[in-house]
Chains A and B, each alone.
Chain A
Amino acid sequence: MSASKSTGGVSPLWQIRAAIDPRHYWVLALLGLVAPLLGWGVASSLDGVDKVFLPGPADVLSRMWTWAVEDGLAGDVAISTWRVVAGWALSAVIALPLGLFIGSYRSVQALLEPLTDFIRYMPAVAFIPLVMLWVGIEEGSKVAIIFIGTFFQMVLMVAEDVRRVPLAQIEAAQTMGATRGEIIEKVIVPSAKPALLDTLRVTMGWAWTYLVVAELVAANSGLGYAVLKAQRFLQTDKIFAGILMIGLIGLVIDQGFRLVHRKAFPYLAGRH
């Protein structure tokens, strides 16, 4: 299918939106990951580049190793993951039903959407003093920062996903005598589900980007905290290791979401 279309001599790789061979996909994806790594390796080994300024991949790897065996990397990963997932899950638990209502009823939209739009522009960092004042400096404060960073965007995205449900699907149910509750339960929710899962995936990524901010708050563990501490001691290799670790976890989680998406919505595999 991918190579058979007459394309006027243009390779499928350069055709707009054309499907490409899965093997090509993997080669390119690998290239996209490996090339920057190589570039980094070369740049860091140039003469006159200070290790404190730019450590090489080998330095970072060995730092990652010592961190893992002597410095409790696993513990940092665990606590950070827990904070991010807790903050993100908390916002999901509230944002999903709220977004569903905003997207289904214009009145709720009028009531809540401008307010949400207003709040979401406020920087999460600016809430740190307030959070410390209101929530304290325990675990709750880190979760709260991640919640603040994620929640308002998530509500708006959920509402938008719900509004994208084709009106014809809803009206078809109405003409079959469905009640409002039945329309929400049997049409809107199942119809929006694939988009909602994507929203959860994207917002999970945003939640991770708030980790360092969250661990600014009186933390003494976690990947973000480790990065901040390394900064204080000018351990550039550890900063690199921490950032890479966060990226790696993000990559794994993202792939997990994509896998669930493929398995949960087989009906999307048809034609597009």
Chain B
Amino acid sequence: MSARIEIHDANKVFGHGPRAITALESADLDIRPNEFVTFVGASGCGKSTLLRMIGGLESLTSGNITVNGQPITGPGVDRAMVFQHYSLYPWLTVLDNIRFCRQLKAHTRDRTSADVEKASGRADALIRLMGLSHVAHAYPSQLSGGMQQRVAIARALMSRPPILLMDEPFGALDAQTREVMHDLIRHVHRIEGSTIVFVTHDVEEAIYLGQRIVLMAPRPGRIDTLYDVPLPAERHQDMKLEPAFLALKREILERIRETSGMKTDLEQLARLNADAAATAQE
């Protein structure tokens, strides 16, 4: 249950004429079956755009993206997506959110009673895996942000998608909850065998989760550097303090700073400080 994603010379331009924005310029990338790839980069470098193109939610201006050799023409059940927020269905309970895809024709074409049983078993298993048993019949509005994201992940996993696309899914969570979610998602990656593409702006998160890091740069949005993460497949939180981890983190952060074009103007800062000091003295 896994899939290879190949991106060939993918370009994306939003708008026309003088107001056109090149969100992505000739991106090339091969993502292996069962690989865990993370995208990082300065804001506006096209991470979300590329992820959404893989998900089929955004068309390509030119180039192509294939999954197992098949070109992408739109969203499909082989590529599940987890959004940053507002994607749960507030009128459905946690359990019904997770089982949502079972209402869709795409998932019920050849439905035998054995299939149905297997599906309900899977929903239960996912609820347990995500630690949601005690809130299975609650509504999303009654859950914390971290729990809501667990529901979103469980819903995405329900149909056993070979590819899981995640766009800053933990961006709104606090540090502790994020750590729990990191180990959870790595566990999912291992047992489900899915290919995961994960967008974040948190470099530490990118290194801890990914086997490979794709660093993107803005204006125009492009793939800048690929990094292999020098950590074993099995990860634990202590690794974040290892020299190899820290060295890679420093290297990536530096490169992001270089490419972002938003250098901190030290002179400006100094002037601001001087001004503040002057006002304070008055």
B122 CB–A CB distance under 8 Å: no
Bound together, the chains give a CA A272 to CA B140 distance in angstroms of 11
Contact in complex: A193, B91 (CB < 8 Å): yes
- In the assembled complex, which residues on chain B have CB atoms less than 8 Å from the CB atom of A270? 139-142
CB of A190 closer than 8 Å to a CB of B: yes
Once A169-B86, A182-B105, A268-B141 are accepted as A-B contacts, the answer to whether A176 and B77 lie under 8 Å apart by CB is yes
A186 adjacent to chain B (CB < 8 Å)? yes
Q: How far is the CB of B105 from chain A (nearest CB, A)?
A: 7
A183 to chain B: closest residue by CB? B104
Could you say which residues of chain B place their CB within 8 Å of the CB of A173? 100, 104
B112 interfacial by beta-carbon distance below 8 Å: no
Instruction: Flag A238-272 by CB within 8 Å of B: 1 or 0 each.
Output: 00000000000000000000000000011111111
A231 within 8 A of B: no
Q: A172-B81, A175-B57 are in contact. Are A182 and B139 (CB under 8 A)?
A: no
| A179, B104: Cα distance in complex, Å | 8
Residue B83 interfacial (CB < 8 Å): yes
- Say if the beta carbon of B264 comes within 8 Å of chain A: no
| Structural contact, A177 and B139, CB atoms closer than 8 A | no
Q: A175-B75, A176-B159, A267-B139 are in contact. Are A169 and B57 (CB under 8 A)?
A: no
Compute how far the CA of A268 lies from the CA of B100 in the bound complex, rounded to whole angstroms.
Answer: 19
Which residues of chain B come closer than 8 Å to A235, judged between CB atoms? Answer: none
**B261 within 8 Å of A (CB atoms):** no
Given contacts A267-B139, A270-B141, contact A166 B105 (CB under 8 A): no
Provide the bound-state CA to CA distance between A272 and B56, in Å. 32
Contact partner, A267, options B84, B90, B159, Cβ 8 Å: B90
* Chain A residue nearest in CB terms to B139: A267
B182 at the interface (CB under 8 A from A): no
Please tell me which one of the listed residues B75, B100, B139, B159 contacts residue A174 in the complex, with CB atoms under 8 A apart.
B75
- The answer to whether B141 and A271 touch across the interface, beta carbons within 8 angstroms, is yes
A176 touches B91 (CB 8 A): no
Interface members, chain B 220-260 (any A CB < 8 Å):
none
**Which residues of the other chain, B, contact A179 by a CB distance below 8 angstroms?**
104-106
With both beta carbons as reference points, the residue of chain B lying nearest to A266 in the complex is identified as B139
A172 CA to B88 CA, complexed, in Å: 8
Residues of A within 8 A of B88 (CB): 169
A21 near B: Cβ within 8 Å? no
Closest-CB distance, A68 to chain B (whole angstroms): 43
In the complex, the answer to whether A166 meets B79 with C-beta atoms within 8 Å is no
CA distance A37 to B197 in the complex (A): 66
What's the tally of chain B residues with a CB closer than 8 Å to chain A? 35
Could you count the A-B residue pairs with CB atoms below 8 Å apart for me: how many are there? 89
Whether the pair B83, A172 counts as a contact (CB closer than 8 A) is yes
The reply to whether the CB of B207 lies closer than 8 angstroms to some CB of chain A is no
Encode A123-141 as 1/0 by CB contact (under 8 A) with B. 0000000000000000000
Whether, in the assembled complex, B101 has its beta carbon less than 8 Å from a beta carbon of chain A, the answer is yes
Cβ-based interface call for A191 (8 A): yes
B87 → chain A closest CB, angstroms: 4
Q: B114-158: which have CB < 8 Å to A?
A: 139-142, 152, 155-156
- Least CB distance from A170 to B in Å reads 9
Nearest-CB distance from A88 to chain B (Å)? 25
B152-174 interface bits toward A, Cβ cutoff 8 Å, 1 = contact, 0 = none: 10011001000001000000000
- Judge whether B212 is part of the interface by a CB distance below 8 angstroms: no
CB distance from A73 to the nearest CB of B (A): 42
Q: Are A175 and B80 in contact (CB under 8 A)?
A: yes
Q: Residue of B at shortest CB range from A178?
A: B104
Query: A50 at the A/B interface (Cβ < 8 Å)?
Result: no
Q: A171-B83, A267-B139 are in contact. Are A177 and B101 (CB under 8 A)?
A: yes
Asked if B86 and A171 make an inter-chain contact with CB atoms under 8 angstroms apart, the answer reads no
Residues in chain B near residue A272, CB distance under 8 A: 141
Instruction: List, sorted by A's number, 7 A–B pairs whose CB atoms are closer than 8 Å.
Output: A168-B86, A169-B87, A175-B156, A176-B159, A187-B89, A191-B89, A271-B141
Interface residues of A (CB under 8 A from B): 166, 168-169, 171-179, 182, 186-187, 190-191, 193, 265-272
